[in-house]
Amino acid sequence: MTDINARLEAVGLKAADIMLPKKGTDLSKWAVVACDQYESEKEYWQSASDIVGEAPSTLRLIFPECYLEDNDGDQRIANINASMKKYVDAKLFDTYKESFFLVRRTCSGVSRWGLMAALDLDRYSWEKGSKTLIRATEGTILSRIPPRKKIRKDAPLEIPHIMVLISDEKRSVIEPLAAKKDSLKSVYDVELMKNGGHLEAWLVNSDEDKENICKAFETIYAALDKNNPLLFAMGDGNHSFATAKSCWEDIKATLTPEQQKNHPARFCLVELENIFDPGLVFEPIHRVFFNVPEDVFLNELKKNAESISIEEVGCKNCIADKIKDQSEQRFGYCVAGKHAVVTLKKPAANIAAGTLQKVIDELVKQKYNIGYIHGADVTDKQGSEKGNIGIFLPAIDKGTFFETIIKDGALPRKTFSMGEANEKRFYMEARAIK
């Protein structure tokens, strides 16, 4: 196995010691959705808390972002670390040594497949223009890392919601495992709370399966441009991955080169997904401008294009139909009951999210508040409230996604989402990082 481990490490990958709550734990209460979802909807998280009650749950191990602006942040972090210690001391977990998990998520009748694995943080960079093996796909907001570091730096465990994309057009890594799932050991099978769908996983730890995974990644890696070898592209959870990297750099500075090689904090547990999986859908992340006058918004927008044209339409669904056509750069907006589509001539950026980011940067300087919203319905509701503007963005083409990242670098922050809010990854697996 030493040879396979070394070969996996050469492509930035590692079989992980994956932890799951012991049999008998109610996994429907254990698993909750990623902390950056429903960030404007505290009622969602209160409802989740009501469902969980006193049962063991990842809800006690995360910091939902809807509470970030509250005044009890330090107490929440202390509670998170105390809950982790409580669960570890109570021997809540079973550990699957040096393993991968094949996972399947089914939501609204559509399934997507993934592979739980650990990635090498030494092979990652969030820097713009990076040519590392693992890299960010959207702009990393450095101010978002310190609050997350407060949680991770003293935490004995990581419980990730991170999803990382691979470009495997031949379907050589995950799909062969999916085809043989009936011969693999089931490790969980659970209905998720609050319309989260169904989640299943199977243990992948045989020498044969590890060899096949290794060979598949070596083949993909061999075909990459050696001067710009993008093998793993961040899908969801980039700021969590960046936080793990920042914490690792702090720890790494205290270790000898020999100690660094296998320190658990050098790696981060993620779910790998093939961008060519037909069940993987890229959804745009929309924006809401709070208390921004329409003329202020349009004046800033006009500074970032040679010209703009505005067509009023009937509703948010009309916007969605119109902005599918990106032969010219388009996006939609709603304000005070009005819905419209904007077409930009010679815009300041290659995609609508980039042009709007320039507008956002200027509005933020003027002390306006901007929200990033998953789902057109919520955007329409909040954007139609008095004084607000809802911005509807088109979806990114996943077929040219890797090519775009290699050519243009990271996209503007929160340009895309892998599914709607209820379809995002739920916290389930854990891994020791100390």
The tens digit of pLDDT for each residue in 48-93 reads 999 999 999 999 999 999 998 899 989 999 999 999 999 999 999 9
Residue 413 has pLDDT above 80, yes or no: no
Q: How far is CA 18 from CA 55, 150, 351, in A?
A: 21, 23, 39
**pLDDT band at residue 233 under the 50/70/90 scheme:** very high
Please give the pLDDT value at position 10.
Answer: 96
**Is residue 354 very low, low, confident or very high in pLDDT (cuts 50, 70, 90)?**
confident
**Are 44 and 21 in contact, with CB atoms under 8 Å apart?**
no
Per the CB < 8 A criterion, the answer to whether 154 and 251 are in contact is no
Give the CA distances from residue 250 to residues 151, 242, 243, 244, 284, in Å, rounded to whole numbers and listed in that order.
14, 13, 11, 10, 34
- What is the reported pLDDT for 1? 53
Least confident residue range of 147-156, 309-318, 404-413: 404-413
pTM of the model: 0.84
pLDDT the model gives residue 349: 85
Task: State mean pLDDT over 186-208.
Answer: 98
Check pLDDT > 90 for residue 420.
Answer: no
Mean pLDDT of the chain: 94
The rounded distance, in Å, linking the Cα atoms of 68 and 64 is: 7
Q: What pLDDT is recorded for position 143?
A: 80
Which residues contact residue 206 at a Cβ distance below 8 angstroms, ignoring those fewer than 6 apart? none
CA distances from 324 to 175, 315, 346, 393 (A): 30, 15, 18, 9
Mind listing the pLDDT tens digit for each residue in 96-118?
A: 999 999 999 999 899 999 999 99
d(CA 227, CA 129): 12
The answer to whether 120 and 267 are in contact (CB under 8 A) is yes
Residue 250: exposed, middle, or buried by beta-carbon count in 10 A (0-12, 13-18, 19+)? exposed
Q: Residue 411: beta bridge partners? A: 138
**Percent helix, percent strand, percent coil in the chain, to nearest 5:** 35, 30, 35
Q: Which residue has the higher pLDDT, 25 or 351?
A: 25
Cβ atoms < 10 Å from Cβ of 159: 21
Dihedral over alpha carbons 276, 210, 20, 36 (to 10 degrees): -30
- In whole angstroms, give the CA distance from residue 421 to residue 413: 17
Q: Rg (Cα) of the chain, in Å, rounded?
A: 22
Of the candidates 85, 50, 43, which has an alpha carbon nearest to the alpha carbon of residue 64? 43
C-alpha to C-alpha distance for 161 and 139, rounded to whole angstroms: 19
Q: How far apart are CA 209 and CA 177, in angstroms?
A: 8
